[in-house]
């Protein structure tokens, strides 16, 4: 039986990468990745980069969910 959703979505996404998000926020990309590697809390990341705790939490969640860049397809 064929899945009706197979091939329905393009094999790419335009979700911004962590690098693009860091650049937009004026955050050093390498230092941000180092913060993730050191498992810094969103509050620590927020203080280090002078962003809100919500923004820091979003960046960390996005990194753990999608990695540094995400290309996903629907096939």
Please state the pTM of the whole predicted model: 0.74
Residue 16 clears pLDDT 80, i.e. is over it: yes
Q: What is residue 16's DSSP assignment?
A: P
C-alpha radius of gyration, the chain, whole number: 16
pLDDT digits (tens, 9 = 90+) for 40-67: 999 999 999 999 999 999 999 999 988 8
Q: Kindly tell me the sign of the dihedral angle through the C-alpha atoms of 9, 15, 19, 23.
A: positive
**What are the boundaries of each domain within the chain?**
18-66
**Dist. CA 72–CA 57, nearest whole Å:** 23
Percent helix, percent strand, percent coil in the chain, to nearest 5: 50, 0, 50
């Amino acid at each position: 039986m064929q899945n009706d959703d197979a091939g329905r979505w393009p094999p790419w996404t335009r979700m911004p990468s962590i690098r693009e998000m860091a650049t937009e926020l004026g955050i050093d990309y390498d230092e941000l990745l180092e913060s993730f590697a050191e498992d810094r809390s969103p509050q620590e990341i927020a203080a280090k980069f002078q962003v809100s705790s919500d923004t820091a939490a979003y960046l960390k969640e996005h990194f753990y969910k999608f990695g540094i860049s995400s290309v996903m397809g629907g096939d």
